[in-house]
Structure formats: C-alpha cells, structure tokens
Chain A
C-alpha cells in the first residue's frame, strides 16, 4: 500500500508547480522580495515556513468546528504568532546560533500571506492529515521559488553562493572578474526580486499554456 493516496500526493505536488503559491496565486510576495538577496536566508526562511505552516494547518483544522467564524482571522493570527514565538524561544534556549540567524524572519513569518491563505482556504474545511499535507506542499512550493530567486540574486548580485565566491574575487580581479565581469548591484535591491519572480512566472506560463487566463 502506498504511503499516500493519489489525492493526498496531489496536495503536496500541486503547489510545487501548477498551483504554486507564489507564481500562480501570487501570495507571499512580500517575504520573497525582502529576504532573497542571499541563498542562505532563502533556505532558512523556507524551512521556517514549512514548519509553521505544517503545524499551523493541523491546529486550525483541529479547532475548525469549535471556532466562531466571526473572529476566525484573529484566531488564526494568534495561532501563527504563538507558534512562531514558541519556536523562537526553544531555539534561543537550545540552538542559540540558529536563532540568531532566524531573528529577523520571525516577524516575517507572521506576515506571510500564504500561511493565512492556507488556513482560510484549506484547513478550515479539511481534516488534520490532509491539512498537514497541504501545508507542507504549499510551504515547499513557496520555498522552491524562494531558493530559485535567492540563487540568482546572490549569484548575480554578489558573485557568491552561500557565501562562497564562485565567480572569483571582485577586488583582486580573479576568475570571471579578470575578464571584466562586474557584479550587478541592482540584483541586491528588492525590485529585482520582483522582476526575477516575473521571469519565473513568464517561463512557467509559456511552458504550460493552460495556466493563461482567457480575456
């Protein structure tokens, strides 16, 4: 017997491509622009969101029948905020170095529209196991784009990947820089992240024309 049924597998794989939260639903753009100047930051953010969205979706799904609909947004917000603070406290106590890396992301996780979006669109109407898969799937789809954008921005903007100088040393003029190559400082600024996301959306839609809406 397969571990996941076909329908459950789709919950994970769909958000990776044809229903990607960033490129198709255009959610979670804020953090995708803010923190993708470095590949490492993108990876850390992706892992944090996988964790928070996976657990958050389960919690919301468990309390979905007892939750008053009038204040459900506030309830959802409280759940995300509490989870994030809890994670932050545990990291500070047991993995202090990692928590210092994460510091700035904590606030950004709470503001991530994908999290609220999945709570609203999925966890409120589905059971905990399916919500868990949906959360993981969407967070993976988000992380995938984040890492792609981070890869190009760090490579073209700083000439490094995960901090390693892969293109040579810009000041000593070694490697590519010896041929007159220069880093593109624009890549470090947020607008270029939007353009990179735009290019990814363009490539995705031209490969899969069914994603293009008719006017």
Chain B
C-alpha cells in the first residue's frame, strides 16, 4: 500500500508549506534584527576609521578597536572634518562616513557619473591625517580597508578587512603583522607620481626597513588576496592624488 506521505499531492503541499514556514521565519528575523545590524555596521565603520588614525586599544600583536561605548566620543574628538570629493569639488559633510563605497564604485562605471570620494580628516598627536576608504576583490569575496595618509601620501595607518578570505591565509590581511607593514610606506614614487604599494612575493626586504620601495612583504599562501590588496590600493587611492597635490 502506498504511504500517505508518498503521494505527489502531499509532496507538493509539504514543499509549499515548508517554503512558507522557513521563508517567513527568516524574513521575520531578518527584518526585526535589521536595525541592530545596521547600527553595528555603523559603529564598525567609525571603529575602522579610528583604527587607521591610530586610535585603538591594540594589545600585544593583536588588533583591537576602541570599545563600542567610547566610539562616538572618540570619533567626534579625533575626526575633525569629513569631506566628500566629487570631480573638482570638495564639500564638507558630517555624514560622509555613511557613504556606501561599494555602491559608489558601481555607479562610477557609467561615464557621466563622477564618484563621491569620502575623506576623513583627523588629528592625532599634533599631525593632520587623511583617512580614505578603499574596496576591492580578494580570492573569494570583497576586501576593503581604510588607509590614513599624511599630506605627502605616506601611509600612517592602515586597516584591512574581508568578507570571506581563507582563515589562516588570506584572512590574515587583518592581522597586525600585515597591516603594520604599510605604515611609513610611500604611495608616490621618487618623482611624485602615484605608484601605489605592492604586496610583493620574493620581497628582498622582509623586515620592511626600506620604506621607499613601494613594497610590503606578502603572506605565504595568500597570493590572490595580496594581489587584491595591491589592486585596491592602486585603484582607489590614486583617485585622491589630485586632492593631495592641491594641498601644497
């Protein structure tokens, strides 16, 4: 005898019912948690910018952000100005850190759109630093970061993050030993043209003493993620060159 659950009509009904139940459970939880998640992301962006500025609670060799309850105060204290660069225009906008870099990158593919470039001006230990967001592709998914520069486009701090790089390999771009290597590296070559910083294998300078070589040491086993970091620095930071030239 055929079992009740083997009937085609039952199977179809079960499938429809299951989709409805699972779908509404997920949709309900997604929409009820949406605000909390967005708030967490906003705080994280502020933490990232502060980290690049050198405002963090680093402990030994691990990277630690300022704690959540101090973020707002520190952000107001250290970030003095938020700018948006669009074409030749520079406007001040205290919501600039909320600009979606990914969406701006997408939009700028159309030739008549000039991309909004956020830039955060900060004061740390008497120095004026400029923090720019960057975004690119790693091996599996998006990678992004915030780089703090001085007026000569010398890196003063860097924070990188990723969506899904391999743990222990590409994911190590957010480890301090990798990020700290960028500090002091020049983005411009000796003639003042934009060159970027290459994440280089076979780097002759593993202790990173030569800061003028436009190179940092790569991570073993993370070639494609490293190339992604090289590419996003080149593509996104070069857009700020004219702003820095105009500073002088």
Q: A154 near B: Cβ within 8 Å?
A: yes
Q: Mark B27-43, 1 if CB is under 8 A from A, else 0.
A: 00110010011001000
CA distance in complex: A171, B205 (Å)? 12
| B18 adjacent to A107 (CB under 8 Å) | no
Tell which of A47-55, A86-94, A125-133 binds the partner: A86-94
Contacts of A70 in B (CB 8 A): 6, 11
Interface size counted on chain A using CB atoms at 8 A: 39
Contacts of B221 in A (CB 8 A): 37, 185, 188-189
| A188 adjacent to B220 (CB under 8 Å) | yes
Min distance, Cβ A201 to any Cβ of chain B, angstroms: 23
Contacts of A176 in B (CB 8 A): none
Interface size counted on chain B using CB atoms at 8 A: 35
Chain A residue nearest in CB terms to B17: A66
Q: B26 near A: Cβ within 8 Å?
A: yes
| B220 adjacent to A171 (CB under 8 Å) | no
Min distance, Cβ B71 to any Cβ of chain A, angstroms: 12
| B29 adjacent to A90 (CB under 8 Å) | yes
Q: B167 near A: Cβ within 8 Å?
A: yes
| A94 adjacent to B36 (CB under 8 Å) | yes
Contacts of A175 in B (CB 8 A): none
Residues of chain B whose beta carbon lies under 8 Å from any beta carbon of chain A: 5-7, 10-11, 14-15, 18-19, 22, 25-26, 29-30, 33, 36-37, 40, 44, 61-62, 140, 161, 163-169, 171, 206-207, 220-221
A-B contact pairs, 28 of them (CB 8 A): A35-B167, A37-B166, A37-B169, A68-B5, A70-B11, A75-B14, A75-B18, A82-B25, A82-B26, A86-B25, A89-B26, A89-B33, A89-B37, A90-B33, A92-B33, A92-B40, A93-B33, A93-B36, A96-B40, A96-B44, A104-B140, A104-B165, A154-B168, A158-B168, A163-B61, A171-B206, A171-B207, A189-B221
